[in-house]
């Protein structure tokens, strides 16, 4: 990420505009003022081209953890898209400098738009998407819900190891399983899996109930020889010996249709 040298505009530093040539200084001023107004929450918004000019479009942060993360309200995004063209994502950092985190980089690459990251003291920088960014190694990934989690690992494993593209699905809030939802079971069949019986086979998917859940809320890949590959919160992705608590937590085994028959 390039941190842009600022200059001052009405007490608020404004970056050199060479990376985004026709953005008016008021866009940066408005984004910083929004960041200040939202403290201690992260602010979020969009840079929208309306009638040929780029403007800052403030949005509501609907993240379940707004002091550390942001999620743009879909209603606000649709409203912006109705009046102009969304050209960049904006959000603030409250507890850290406006430098891209790994989660920021993953999200930016996923949505394909430039990001402007600001802080309430006026510092800011651009983050640009990297087209065709390589898929990170399956082992050693940090956990970021919705970006680098157990489902991401499953999809990347099937793509890299088997050449099978699995659909993504909306994960909802991090605690969806506490809200009467059953997202894994509802979506696994659409991804081409059926419940398997008998001996486990390599590439089978184990659906687990963890954290006291009454429905499957975690998935792992059966590697064979008593090992699984999975990603859990607050740990790096990696292999684990299957047994004990992991075996007790397994609610069902699913097999992709490519390996049936």
Residues with active-site annotation = 150, 218, 230
26, 31, 55, 28: which is closest to 42 by C-alpha? 31
Cis peptide before 40 (omega within 30 of 0): yes
- Rounded (to 5) percent helix, strand, coil in the chain: 25, 30, 45
CA distance 89 to 61: 13
The Cβ-side half-sphere exposure at 215, using a 13 Å CA radius, reads: 12
CA distance 238 to 240: 7
CA distance 188 to 252: 11
């Amino acid at each position: 990420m390039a941190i842009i040298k600022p200059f001052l505009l009405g007490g608020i530093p404004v970056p050199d505009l060479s990376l985004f040539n026709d953005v008016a200084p008021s866009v940066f001023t408005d984004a910083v003022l929004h960041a200040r107004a939202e403290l201690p929450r992260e602010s979020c918004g969009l840079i929208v081209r309306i009638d040929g000019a780029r403007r800052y479009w403030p949005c509501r942060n609907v993240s379940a953890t707004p002091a550390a993360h942001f999620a743009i309200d879909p209603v606000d995004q649709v409203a912006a898209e109705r009046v102009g063209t969304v050209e960049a994502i904006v959000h603030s950092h409250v507890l850290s400098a406006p430098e891209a985190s790994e989660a920021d980089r993953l999200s930016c690459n996923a949505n394909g738009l430039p990001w402007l990251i600001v802080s309430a003291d006026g510092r800011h920088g651009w983050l640009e998407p990297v087209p065709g960014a390589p898929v990170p190694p399956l082992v050693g990934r940090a956990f970021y819900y919705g970006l680098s989690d157990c489902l991401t690992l499953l999809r990347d494993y099937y793509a890299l190891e088997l050449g099978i593209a699995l659909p993504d699905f909306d994960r909802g809030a991090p605690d969806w399983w506490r809200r009467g939802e059953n997202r894994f079971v509802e979506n696994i069949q659409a991804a081409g899996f059926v419940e398997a019986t008998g001996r486990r086979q390599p590439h089978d998917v184990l659906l687990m109930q963890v954290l006291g859940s009454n429905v499957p809320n975690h998935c792992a890949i059966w590697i064979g020889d008593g090992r699984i590959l999975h990603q859990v919160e607050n740990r790096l992705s990696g292999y684990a010996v299957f047994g004990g608590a992991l075996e007790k937590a397994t609610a069902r085994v699913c097999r992709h249709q490519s390996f049936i028959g």
